[in-house]
């Protein structure tokens, strides 16, 4: 009976795994800082998922939240570059 369960579970999981694609952000100045700082703590999928909803002020608030509320170790210079990158490439 166990082999049958394994086959069923594998059949269910295979399409979901096959559909998952790695995120590729827009190549532009600042991308390296976004990948290094933001990608160190969470998936970069959040960026394009939230882009239709976030303005320049909202992206700044998000980056500030990551630093102040969640303790992201992002220095001020990198935060500025990250906000500029997100606003230019994913501003809603």
Name all domains of the chain by residue range, CATH numbers in brackets: 23-90 (1.10.760.10)
Dist CA 62 CA 91 (whole Å): 12
Residue 74 has pLDDT above 80, yes or no: yes
- In this prediction, residue 21 has a pLDDT band, given cuts at 50, 70 and 90, of confident
What CA–CA distance (Å, rounded) separates 51 from 89?
A: 9
More confident residue, 86 or 53: 86
Query: pLDDT value at position 53?
Result: 87
Alpha helices by DSSP H, listed for the chain, are 2-19, 31-33, 46-50, 56-68, 76-90
Predicted confidence (pLDDT) at residue 40 exceeds the cutoff of 90:
yes
State the Cα–Cα distance between residues 14 and 79, nearest whole angstrom: 39
The mean pLDDT of the chain is 86
């Amino acid at each position: 009976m166990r082999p049958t369960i394994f086959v069923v579970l594998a059949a269910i999981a295979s399409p979901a795994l096959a559909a998952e694609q790695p995120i590729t952000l827009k190549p532009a100045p600042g991308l390296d800082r976004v990948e290094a700082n933001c990608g160190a703590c969470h998936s970069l999928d959040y960026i394009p998922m939230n882009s239709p909803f976030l303005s320049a002020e909202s992206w700044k608030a998000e980056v500030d939240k990551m630093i102040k509320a969640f303790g992201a170790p992002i220095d001020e210079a990198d935060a500025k570059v990250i906000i500029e990158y997100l606003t230019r490439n994913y501003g809603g």
